[in-house]
Amino acid sequence: MSGGTRRMERVVVTGGAGFLGSHLCDHFLGRGMEVVALDNLVTGSLDNLAHLSGNPAFSFRRQDVTEYLDVEGPVDAVLHFASPASPIDYALLPIQTIKVGTLGTHRALGLAKAKGARFLLASTSEVYGDPEVHPQPETYWGHVNPVGPRSIYDEAKRAAEAFTMAYHNHHGLETRIVRIFNTYGPRMRRRDGRAVPAFLTQALAAEPITVFGDGSQTRSLCYVDDLIDGIDRLLASDHPLPVNIGNPSEITMLELARVVRELCRSASEIVFEPLPVDDPRRRRPDITLARELLAWEPRVPLEEGLARTITWWRGSEPEPGAPPGHPGQAAVLG
């Protein structure tokens, strides 16, 4: 795993006020780098960055990355994490989701090219759609409905990967692509629309826990600290093609609901709702490449990661008007 002699001193994180973006800011600041976070705050929150106020190595700019994008001074890496990323978000923001995956990626790539910086794209396991190959290796091309309700996110990310490879092949830009599988941890939004925040919110409020379908659909849940470590290793590598980063341990949604209920010491009943359209039945990464290329694999067990998340959850204030339910349990952050 080698990225050459490049020394990373200043990085730009688009979507820096989001769940993953804010953790990336923390990570790189902890490595002694200067960090510039860009976010239009459509789904991100300044609360995620409040602890960085006054840090001379950190700066934030409210910025829609689908518009003209420039950053003063040298930049060594651009990490493109700006995008709505949950079923609730991209159902409410379909045009913005497509624009940030296409035009926003183009702008971010242009910034990296202008600065001679390395570029890392946050892609997603959603590029595999409802997979017919299990587990999913990077060589699998996917099974995506291009006109379904999830297509605005799935196809935007597939286009973002194509944009990234075009810049790599045509302009010689140093690029990295991380395909992120389901990730959870502190700073997830209660109204995010995904299983972990929805289950936690419901269990801690002693409300019914909503499981879609019969709960047999599976996901593979990776704790945020493990994901950030994998992203950092990928950025430092010299591999331009997509790499899966996620937890290969599979769990059904019904099992997850029961684990969350137990850890929260909740008496919530589990109720069942119809399965959303195009909801993937199974999702699990093949991380052979990450193991061989990056010497990476997840280390935080599910129950430990959930316990850490619950501790943070109990200490944070609920979002005003946060709904108790959630429309889907499939999307990942990216």
Lowest mean pLDDT among 31-35, 119-123, 231-235, 329-333: 329-333
> Can you give the pLDDT at residue 334?
28
What residues does 209 pair with on adjacent strands?
Answer: 270
CA 322 to chain centre: 21
The CA radius of gyration of the chain, in Å to the nearest whole number, is: 19
Helix (H) or strand (E) holding 94: helix 94-115
Please identify, in words, the CATH class of the domain defined by 10-182+222-245: alpha beta
pLDDT band at 251 (very low <50, low <70, confident <90, very high): very high
pLDDT band at 326 (very low <50, low <70, confident <90, very high): very low
d(CA 228, CA 156): 22
What residues does 177 pair with on adjacent strands?
Answer: 121, 242
What mean pLDDT comes out for the span 282-298?
A: 96
- Shortest CA distance to 183 belongs to which of 257, 252, 136, 246? 246
What mean pLDDT comes out for the span 150-173?
A: 96
- Residue 65 in this model has a pLDDT that exceeds 90: yes
> Can you give the pLDDT at residue 330?
32
d(CA 280, CA 156): 17
Helix (H) or strand (E) holding 184: strand 183-184
CB 105 within 8 A of CB 143: no
Quick: pLDDT tens for 171-198: 999 999 999 999 999 999 887 878 999 9
47-70 burial code (b ≥16 CB/10 A, e <16): ebbeebeeeeebebeebbbbeebe
Q: 64: Cβ–Cβ under 8 A, 6 or more apart, which residues? A: 40
Lowest mean pLDDT among 114-118, 174-178, 321-325, 326-330: 326-330
Percentage of the chain with pLDDT > 70?
A: 92
- Whether omega for the bond prior to residue 248 falls within 30 degrees of 0, making it cis, is no
Q: Alpha helices of 93-223 — where are they, by DSSP H?
A: 94-115, 151-171, 195-204
CB 250 within 8 A of CB 286: no
CA 13 to chain centre: 13
pLDDT band at 323 (very low <50, low <70, confident <90, very high): very low
- Shortest CA distance to 250 belongs to which of 219, 227, 223, 222? 219
**How many Cβ atoms are within 10 Å of 32's Cβ, its own excluded?**
9
Question: Among this protein's residues, is 153 annotated catalytic?
Answer: yes
- Residue 129 in this model has a pLDDT that exceeds 60: yes
Has this prediction a pTM greater than 0.85? yes
Domain ranges of the chain: 10-182+222-245
> Can you give the pLDDT at residue 88?
85
d(CA 46, CA 182): 23
Tokens of 97: 């989701």
Determine which one of 153, 167, 184, 223 is catalytic: 153
Lowest mean pLDDT among 11-15, 54-58, 148-152, 221-225: 148-152
pLDDT band at 3 (very low <50, low <70, confident <90, very high): low
Tokens of 87: 């079923």
- Shortest CA distance to 105 belongs to which of 137, 82, 135? 82
Phi, psi of 8 (to 5 degrees): -85, 115
SS3 state at 36: strand
- Residue 237 in this model has a pLDDT that exceeds 50: yes
> Can you give the pLDDT at residue 5?
53
Phi-psi sector, 331: left (phi>0), alpha (psi -120 to 50), beta: beta
Phi, psi of 187 (to 5 degrees): 85, 5
> Can you give the pLDDT at residue 117?
98
> Can you give the pLDDT at residue 6?
66
